[in-house]
Amino acid sequence: MTQPQSNLPAPVRRIPSPAEQLQRALRSGGFEPAARLAFALLPNARPLFERVAWFVSEFALHPTGHRLLGVMLNDAFRTSERLHKVFPTPAYAEQRVTIYTALFRSLPDLNMVRAATPDGQVWDPLSGDPLSNWLARHRQATVELLEEPNDVHGFMTPVDFRSALAPFILNERDMVDLGEHFPQVMGVGYR
């Protein structure tokens, strides 16, 4: 049922900080220039991206076999680049909604990730505990990519899954910043 694609070094000596995980993913994906621009235009974006990096962790895989965090960053920054090609100076709200919607697009693929210890303790993304926290406490854990969504949460639509994780990732400032655009960012109406 699972593809044994553990990508967690064993034993884990230290889980990198949110900033380190984000920076490594930005560097490995070649997104540093796009990130500098986005973070300059959207001052609240960097802390949000760091929280996403901490929640997802650099160890979770995407069904394509790439790291999920890298896929999420690729979606966000490629979409942002396309927006800037069409509208050289897009409005602040449009930039924010576009990049955040693209960032969260692949978040439901976290339901294809299983992190577990040899003694059977399993991470549950809907517990609110970021994967990085959980891995820091469970140093002997492995992280695998499932062939099918987690049975426990497989019944959830992508929109429901995103919306259920949002309170664990978005803070009060983000919610105020998104305001009426929250449903759009969570993907209501497109997936």
Whole-number average pLDDT of the chain:
86
pLDDT of residue 187: 85
CB 103 within 8 A of CB 52: yes
Give tens-digit pLDDT for 57-94: 999 999 998 999 999 999 999 988 887 777 667 677 78
Residues in Cβ contact with 1 at an 8 Å cutoff, skipping those fewer than 6 apart: 146, 147, 148
pLDDT of residue 5: 46
> Does the pLDDT at position 191 exceed 50?
no
Please give the CATH topology (third level) of the domain spanning 15-148+155-183: Hypothetical protein af1432 (1.10.3210)
- Please give the structure tokens belonging to residue 77: 């920054």
Whole-angstrom CA distances from 134 to 30, 60, 69, 179, 189 are 28, 12, 17, 30, 32
Q: Which residue has the higher pLDDT, 175 or 84?
A: 175
Query: What distance, in Å, lies between the first and last C-alpha atoms of the chain?
Result: 25
Type of residue numbered 165? L
pLDDT of residue 2: 43
pLDDT of residue 26: 97
- Residue 128 has a CB neighbour count (10 Å cut-off) of 13
pLDDT of residue 1: 43
Give tens-digit pLDDT for 8-65: 545 456 789 999 999 999 999 999 999 998 899 888 999 999 999 999 999 999 999 8
pTM beyond cutoff 0.85 = yes
- Average pLDDT of the segment spanning 126-152: 88
What are the residue ranges spanned by the domains of the chain? Answer: 15-148+155-183
